[in-house]
Amino acid sequence: MAGSAPPARRWLLLEHPGPWRIDAIAGSGIDPGVLSTLIKKAGAATRILLIRRPGRIDRRAARRWILAGLDSTPVTGRWRDDNDLLAAADALVAAPPPPMEPPQPLILVCAHGVHDVCCALRGRPVALELASRWPELVWECSHIGGDRFAPNVVLLPDGFYYGNLDPASAVDTVEAHLAGTVLPDRLRGMARYLPPVQAAAIAAYERYGPLSPSDVAVQATEQIGPHHGHGSETIVDLVIEPQQREVTVRVLSARRTDAQLTCRATRQTPATEYRIIDFSPR
């Protein structure tokens, strides 16, 4: 799992009761002109997701949109008509608001069953269990990547991805994270970093924990070989800040044996694994 979090800097979350198509955004029914504006202003660093509350949904209520970025205060609005989402488009290109201490967390659980049935069968019980503890923080969301690790949970604004959860382990993992401790055994990665760098940071959490989400900092990276290609190496210099430890991690990008990676996959495909080949104090 290590290194499987899709890199992103921001998330535009659009409340939408469903049904969600395989391509949730394109099939959302939102006016094509509005949708085109949102996608254009979102750019490559912003992911657009559909969200909904777990359980029964009042389809008549005004919906919410949320723009959440790494380590920043979320911007929110309401929408009934598609044109109301143009306010979200404006927020995408506006200066972010001053940071609030601490920013309100968001808990996203992938439950996009049409995209992959595993996400619904495994994700919805996790969403319901988490919502019983944190009803105002939890949303089901559309596809976030890594269906083979379902159920998947994303914690914002930290941008941490956790996978292979069940209702009990999801509560333990989220509770620890919100309290300031990362449990690395189910950690997929951090969206702020590229995949091999995520793997290096996870190795530090495993060796030096318990640590908080902000306790592992990337000081420098160096790529050897084809960019993110199989057989390439990434050298990552890390600082474990509370302990003032400095370490260098070498990560090998390796092609895994072809396998059925998702529940709906019709053929076997390869995936990349990020292997720690050296972890040395500096």
- Domain span holding position 88: 1-192
Together in a domain, 188 and 203:
no
The pLDDT value recorded for residue 228 is: 58
Together in a domain, 127 and 251:
no
Tokens of 243: 């302990």
Together in a domain, 120 and 217:
no
Tokens of 134: 């944190």
Together in a domain, 49 and 69:
yes
Together in a domain, 150 and 199:
no
CA distance 58 to 125: 20
Together in a domain, 148 and 20:
yes
CA distance 53 to 159: 20
Together in a domain, 19 and 148:
yes
CA distance 14 to 107: 14
Together in a domain, 37 and 127:
yes
CA distance 251 to 248: 10
Together in a domain, 149 and 199:
no
Q: How many structural domains are present in the chain?
A: 2
Domain end (from 163, 192, 221): 192
Together in a domain, 199 and 182:
no
Q: Which CATH number do you get for residue 54?
A: 3.40.30.10
Helices and strands (DSSP H and E) totals, the chain? 5, 13
Domain end (from 155, 174, 192): 192
Together in a domain, 130 and 216:
no
Together in a domain, 46 and 174:
yes
pLDDT tens, per residue, the chain with 282 residues: 999 999 999 999 999 988 899 999 999 999 999 999 999 999 999 999 999 999 877 777 779 999 999 978 899 999 999 999 999 999 999 988 777 677 889 999 999 877 767 777 888 999 999 999 999 999 999 999 888 888 999 999 999 999 999 999 999 999 999 999 999 999 999 999 999 999 999 999 999 989 999 999 999 999 887 765 677 899 999 999 988 899 999 999 988 777 666 666 667 777 889 999 999 998
Contact 151, 110 (CB under 8 A): yes
Domain end (from 134, 169, 192): 192
CA distance 129 to 75: 26
